[in-house]
Amino acid sequence: MPVAIITGASRGLGQALAAGLADNGWDLVLDARTGPALAAAAAALPGTVRAVPGDITDPAHRAELIAAADALGGANLLINNAGTLGPSPLPQLADLPLDAVRDLFEVNVVALLALTQLALPGLRERAGTIINITSDAAVEAYEGWGGYGASKAAVEQLSNVLAAEEPDVRVWWTDPGDLRTQMHQDAFPGEDISDRPLPATVVPAVLKLFAEDPASGRYRLTELT
C-alpha cells in the first residue's frame, strides 16, 4: 500500500484528507500537536494508521514521522498541512508583533522545509509527491492577513523552486479556498462561518490530482471538483 505522511491531521483539512486517503487504500502516518485528538482521529480511520503526536518545529518529532513512514515501507506522499494563523483577531501589519511573525515563519515555512528535506531522499526513490497547502492570502491583499499571507507566499515560492530542482518528485501547492475549519473561525472570531464548505468537499479534488497526475504546479482545489 502507498504511504502518506499528513501533518496537522487531528482536525479540519488534514483530518479530511486522511479520511479520503484511508478510504482509498493508503497507509497513513499522522501528525498533530494534540495527542488525544490525533488518537481519536486515527482510530476512526480504516487500514494502517500511525498517530505520531508532536510539534513539527521539533527536529526529533520530524525524525519520528519519517521513521514511522519507513516502518510501513517508506513515504510516497508528504502533505504539509500543519500551520499556524498567528494572532487572533488578525492585526494589521502596523500592529503585528514581530515575535508572532517569527513564529509564523518558523511553523509555516521553516518546519515545512525541514520535514520536506528529511522526506526527499525516499520520495526521490519512490517517485513520490509533495503537497503543500497554501492559501489565496499568499497572492491576494486582505487586510489583517499580512503575516499569514507572507508566510504562505514563502511556501509558494519554496514549492515553485522545489519543483524546478526535484524533477523526480511531483510538487503540488494547493489552495483549498475558504473552508469551515477552526483556523478559519479563529480568523473571524465571533462571526458565523457556517456558509463556508466543509473540508471534505475538496478531498475529491486532491484525489483527482492523483488520478490525472498533472505537472508540478499551483492548483486551486475548488476549480478541480
Asked whether 41 and 30 are in contact (CB, 8 A), the reply is: yes
Residue 148 catalytic?
Answer: yes
Q: Give DSSP secondary structure letters for 64-110.
A: HHHHHHHHTT--SEEEE------SSSPPPGGG--HHHHHHHHIIIII
Kindly state the helix (H) or strand (E) to which residue 4 belongs, with its residue range. strand 3-6
CA separation, residue 83 to residues 31, 72, 91, 169, 189 (Å): 12, 25, 18, 23, 18
Task: Please compute Rg for the chain using Cα positions.
Answer: 16
Task: Identify the active-site residue in 105, 148, 173, 219.
Answer: 148
Of 23, 14, 12, the closest CA to residue 132 belongs to: 14
Give the span between the Cα atoms of 50 and 6, in whole angstroms. Answer: 11
Which burial class, exposed, middle or buried, applies to 174 when counting CB atoms under 10 A from its CB (0-12, 13-18, 19+)? buried
C-alpha cell at 213: 497526475
Give the span between the Cα atoms of 107 and 125, in whole angstroms. Answer: 27
First-residue to last-residue Cα distance in the chain: 25
Q: Any idea which residues carry the catalytic annotation?
A: 148
